[in-house]
Amino acid sequence: MFAEFLTLFQLFLLCLTSLLLHIGSSNPNVSSPGDYLANEGIGTSFLVFVAPKIGQLHIWASTLYQALYLFFRVFLPAFISIFYPQISTSTDPLPFNSMSMIGYTFMIMGGFGRIWCYRTLGAFFTFELTIRNKHKLIQTGPYAYVRHPSYTFLLVLLWGFLLVHRRLANLFPNQAWIQTLLSPLGILVILFSVILVIARRIIMEEKELATKFGSEWTQYASKRKRFIPKII
């Protein structure tokens, strides 16, 4: 009974964290006709509008496949050999171990952290680099501690996602490309690529904020680190 409870609890965590990742990768606001939009170069539209949708599609595909396995394990174990003939029944492909618990914890922290940022900035939070007509420099909530908390929480959320969903490779033991993509090296490449995109975006954001707010931004930025209070 306890093993079944853990499986159902993991099923709940899997769905909850995927929902948080979906929300955290969705644009909370769109730009208005009178807003100033910075020129971010070629590929901005893809990164803002297309890439999140593609990512969400993969997130839910992975979630559904894992959730179905967990459901079958509790209620219809005979169906596992039908829908998952490629895996061995001698090992647990989706173990609820310390690594997955860390992943779920990171996703919950990152997901609710992103929502906190959304609510704190309100209409000023857009995926496009936007300056509203009555834009204000928000210095409350998570922005009282660091300059770019939304990116901090995004990286925490992504790191947790990769720790949890890398187990998808266990459900496809014969698929070399999935094994490579979800290997430790593949995960590091994904994280490094995201960090590069974020670093480039931050440079542009801070340039626009400095232009808009001048000394107010300079004073604000001088007292706060970018990602982690007192550290970086």
Each residue's pLDDT expressed in tens, for the chain with a length of 232 residues: 788 999 999 999 999 999 999 999 999 998 888 888 887 776 677 777 888 999 999 999 999 999 999 999 999 999 999 999 998 877 899 999 999 999 999 999 999 999 999 999 999 999 989 999 889 999 999 999 999 999 999 999 999 999 999 999 999 998 999 999 999 999 999 999 999 999 999 999 999 999 999 999 999 999 999 999 999 9
**Two structure tokens written together for 98:** 């310390």
Q: What is the CATH number of the domain that holds 15?
A: 1.20.120
Cα–Cα distance measured from residue 107 to residue 10, given in angstroms and rounded to the nearest whole number: 13
Domain housing 14: 2-222
Structure tokens at 72: 């079958």
Does residue 114 sit within a domain? yes
Q: How many domains does the chain have?
A: 1
**Domain membership flag for residue 160:** yes
**Rg of the chain over all Cα atoms, to the nearest angstrom:** 20
For the record, the structure tokens of 62 come out as 């992975």
231 within some domain: no
User: pLDDT for 97-112, tens place per residue?
Assistant: 999 999 999 999 999 9
